[in-house]
Structures are given as C-alpha cells and as structure tokens.
C-alpha cells in the first residue's frame, strides 16, 4: 500500500532544480511557516533561504500578507489534492478514514513541523484578512472531505456527517499540536489510537 503524499512532500518536489523564483519562494516560505508560523515569515530570511536578494521577493509579492495568503492558498490546494489522491487510491471509505491522520503525521516526521494552516490559525489575531480566509479554507476543505467520506462509509447518518467531520478534524489537528509541543511523534500515535478506541475514528 502506498503512503499518503503529504503537503511537505509536494513542496519538496516543487522545490527542485529548474523552478522559477516565485515557486522557490513559495516552497521555502511554506517550510518556514510550518516551523515558525506567520510571525516567522520575513523577506530577509526567506531571501537567504532561496538564494536571492530580499528586494527580488517584492517582484512576486507586494507584501508579507500577499505572500502568506499565497502560501496558505497553495497549502490547502495541495492538501485537497492529497486527500483526493487518497480517496482515488482506496475504494474503501473506511480505509480512507483510517489513513486520514497520516496527512498530519507527515509534517511531524519532517523535523517536527506542523500543519501550516493549523499554525497560522493559532495566530488569528495577528493575521491579515486575506490570510485568515485561506487558513479557514484549509479547515473547510478537510471537513468537507471527511463529511463526504463519512457518508460514503455509512459511519453516521448524512445529517450528522459534518458534525463528526469537524470533531475528527479538530481532534487530529489537536493531536499534532500536542505531539509537536513535546517533540514526540509517539504522542500523536497514542492520541490517534485513543480516538479509535473511543469510536471517533474507525478502528
């Protein structure tokens, strides 16, 4: 069985040789934001990471807010693609639900990073409106996918699928946060297993 492509893996592929400056900036900014959030994004550090002058970033992004919104948008688009690939790979919706936590675990496997949009959501008081919109879309994409798969698996009644989907999304994102705070991926695995025992996720 192949593994779920994480957003980090998608970024790594897109950050290869031959990419244009804008794509390299987005890839580097994603990596930085996964480790340090919106507050950790600055053009000087980003320019050093990409190997260009800081002034060159303004050619592609007018401001930090513009850059962060583009990064968050790319992140949820890649997340949506990874989830759709998971659904296409397995015809069994129950198996898709079992594997859903892998999409968050992959970030922890990459130098104890976090889901970019979860990190930024915690900074909501300091986010520009355009960035907030993209961060919220990430949650909406995940909840919509989970709701669809829950309905297909007949785990809950259709009218209850969105409520369960929100609970699963919040629980898995929370498990990632707690595991990251302890720099211990086994904490994530233990929490996911507890969700299965409790019946939130299929065993």
CA 67, 72, 73, 76: dihedral to nearest 10 degrees? 160
CA distance 9 to 132: 24
Q: Is 101 helix (H, G, I), strand (E, B) or coil?
A: coil
- What's the pLDDT score for residue 138? 95
For the cut 60, the answer to whether the pLDDT of residue 195 exceeds it is yes
Over range 135-157, report the average pLDDT. 95
Q: Per-residue DSSP letters for 164-180?
A: HHHHHHHHHHHHHHHHH
Q: Which two tokens stand for residue 182?
A: 């302890």
CA distance 127 to 170: 20
Radius of gyration of the chain, Cα coordinates, nearest whole angstrom: 17
Q: Where are the domains of the chain?
A: 7-198
- What's the pLDDT score for residue 6? 44
- What's the pLDDT score for residue 69? 96
CATH number of this structure's domain 7-198, picked from the four choices 1.10.10.10, 1.10.3720.10, 3.30.300.30, 1.10.357.10: 1.10.357.10
Exposure class string for 138-160: b at 16+ Cβ within 10 A, else e = bbebbbebbbbbbbbbebeeeee
Report pLDDT digits (tens) over 78-137. Answer: 999 999 999 998 889 999 999 999 999 999 998 888 888 888 899 999 999 999 999 999
- What's the pLDDT score for residue 3? 40
Q: Is the dihedral of CA 119, 125, 72, 39 positive or negative?
A: negative
Report pLDDT digits (tens) over 4-45. Answer: 444 444 344 344 445 688 999 999 999 999 989 999 998 989
Task: Tell me the whole-structure pTM to 2 decimals.
Answer: 0.84
- What's the pLDDT score for residue 117? 87
Which candidate, 19, 29, 16, 12, places its Cα nearest to that of 110?
Answer: 12
Chain mean position to CA 114: 8
- What's the pLDDT score for residue 91? 82
Residues 6+ apart with CB under 8 A from 199: none
């Amino acid at each position: 069985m192949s593994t779920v492509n994480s957003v980090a893996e998608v970024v790594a592929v897109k950050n290869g040789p031959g990419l244009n400056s804008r794509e390299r900036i987005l890839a580097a900014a994603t990596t930085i934001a996964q480790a340090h959030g919106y507050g950790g994004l600055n053009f000087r550090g980003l320019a050093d990471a990409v190997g260009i002058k800081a002034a060159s970033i303004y050619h592609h992004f007018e401001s930090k807010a513009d850059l962060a919104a583009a990064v968050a948008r790319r992140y949820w688009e890649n997340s949506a693609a990874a989830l759709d690939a998971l659904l296409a790979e397995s015809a069994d919706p129950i198996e898709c639900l079992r594997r859903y936590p892998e999409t968050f675990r992959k970030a922890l496997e990459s130098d104890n990073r976090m889901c970019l949009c979860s990190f930024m959501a915690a900074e909501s008081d300091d986010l520009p409106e355009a960035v907030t919109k993209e961060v919220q879309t990430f949650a909406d994409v995940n909840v919509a996918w989970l709701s669809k798969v829950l309905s297909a698996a007949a785990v809950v009644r259709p009218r209850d699928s969105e409520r369960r989907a929100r609970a699963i999304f919040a629980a898995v994102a929370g498990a990632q946060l707690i595991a990251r705070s302890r720099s211990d991926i086994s904490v994530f695995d233990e929490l996911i297993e507890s969700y299965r025992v409790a019946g939130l996720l299929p065993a």
